[in-house]
Amino acid sequence: MKYFCVIGEPIEHSLSPVMHNAVFKKHKLECKYLAFRVKKEELENAVRGLKALGFKGFNVTIPHKEKIIEYIDELSKEARLIKAVNTVKIDKKLIGYNTDGIGAVKSLKSLGEVKDKKIIILGAGGAARAIAFSLALEKTREIIIANRTLEKAKKLAKEVEEKTGVKTHACSIDKKVLKEKIKESEILINCTSVGMYPDINSTLVEKDMLKSDLVVMDIVYNPLETRLLKEAKKAGAKIINGVEMLVYQGAEALKIWGVEPDIELMRQAVLKELKQ
């Protein structure tokens, strides 16, 4: 039996076990995926323990994605740029990857190219950072990072541009500014927690800022259709919900561990769990 898991705190609501075990079960693989709550001060011991117990790989979630780097032997290019790891392969050495950004890129690519596109990202936290770097690695034309704390957006934009060469700048989330920036963009991605349960009526983007020739992705998956996505749909835009990023980042993790993903099965497993 090959063992995998996710470590984080809190961990009770993680959808990863359901998503990965669905693949293992359907394809009759001798694999099992577990979830462990790990406190910050126990992170190093937990990593040593997983290695000692013969785990083949694990996912890392909040609050350990940055700190885990101290205990990893090798980092992928994305993980090095993003400075965060969400997937680890144990193969004598510990190799750290970041599949969050590429998960978002892959879900966007299911609707069309991202190369040469002008993209506006709302937020400058962990998810925004992973997505901004992964989009830049796909050679997008330009990235705008809009954030409530403007300084954070400026810092991230500077880093993305310096390290990838893709034109990236920052702006505030002031309605007038956002309206103008969205008008110039082809893809909008909400990487803030605005609109997430229980604040389901919140949005940073008003109806009149949206347009039909826009792809709108919201990485929030609870609710499945956020207010932003509802309004984007009404405006005639193409929409992508947060489950897609979750599924594609999981699929990339499975590939790293040598397991063939099953996107539709993983999507259905997550959707079923969310409905319960």
Ligand X SMILES: NC(=O)c1ccc[n+]([C@@H]2O[C@H](COP(=O)([O-])OP(=O)(O)OC[C@H]3O[C@@H](n4cnc5c(N)ncnc54)[C@H](OP(=O)(O)O)[C@@H]3O)[C@@H](O)[C@H]2O)c1
Which amino acid type is present at position 23?
Answer: V
**Neighbour tally for 4: CB within 10 Å:** 26
Q: Count Cα atoms within 13 angstroms, Cβ side, for 148.
A: 9
Residue 152 touching ligand X (CB under 6 A): yes
Under rule CB under 6 A, residue 158 binds ligand X: no
Least distance in angstroms from the C-beta of 51 to ligand X: 26
Q: Which of 88, 136, 245, 251 binds ligand X (CB under 6 A)?
A: 245
Cα distance between residue 219 and residue 84, in whole Å: 18
Which is closer to ligand X, CB of 50 or CB of 173? 173
The contact mask relative to ligand X for 85-104 (x = CB under 6 A, - = no) is: ---------------x----
The nearest distance, CB 139 to ligand X, in angstroms, is 23
Residue 242 interacts with ligand X (CB under 6 A): yes or no: yes
By CB atoms closer than 10 A (0-12, 13-18, 19+), residue 158 is middle
Q: For residue 219, state whether it binds ligand X (rule: CB under 6 A).
A: yes
Query: Is residue 147 part of the contact set for ligand X (CB under 6 A)?
Result: yes
The answer to the question of residue 24 lying near ligand X (CB under 6 A) is: no
Residue 251 engages ligand X in binding (rule: CB under 6 A): no
Q: Where are the beta strands (DSSP E) in the chain?
A: 2-8, 31-37, 57-60, 74-75, 87-91, 93-97, 118-122, 142-146, 167-171, 187-190, 215-218, 238-240
Binding mask 102-141 for ligand X (x = CB under 6 A): ---------------------xxxxxx-------------
Counting contacts by CB under 6 A, is residue 49 touching ligand X?
no
Tell me the two tokens of residue 140: 């997008």
Element (DSSP H or E) covering residue 78 = helix 77-82
The verdict on whether 163 is a catalytic residue reads: no
Give the residue nearest to ligand X (CB). Answer: 125
214 makes contact with ligand X (CB under 6 A) = no
Calculate the dihedral angle through the C-alpha atoms of 135, 140, 142, 145, rounding to the nearest 10 degrees.
Answer: -10
Q: Using N-to-C axis directions, what is the helix angle for 242-256 and 263-275, rounded to 10°?
A: 130
Catalytic residue among 2, 51, 65, 176: 65
Hey, which residues between 175 and 204 contact ligand X (CB under 6 A)?
191-194, 196
* Other beta carbons less than 10 A from residue 151's beta carbon: 10
* Shortest Å, Cβ 53 to ligand X: 27
Number of residues forming the site for ligand X (CB under 6 A): 24
Return the number of other C-beta atoms located less than 10 Å from residue 32's C-beta.
15
**What is the nearest approach in angstroms of ligand X to the Cβ of residue 221?**
5
Q: Tell whether residue 220 is a contact of ligand X (CB under 6 A).
A: yes
- DSSP tally for the chain: helices H, then strands E: 10, 12
The residue ranges that bind ligand X (CB under 6 A) are 100, 123-128, 147-149, 152, 173, 191-194, 196, 219-221, 242, 245-246, 249
Task: Just list the catalytic residues.
Answer: 65
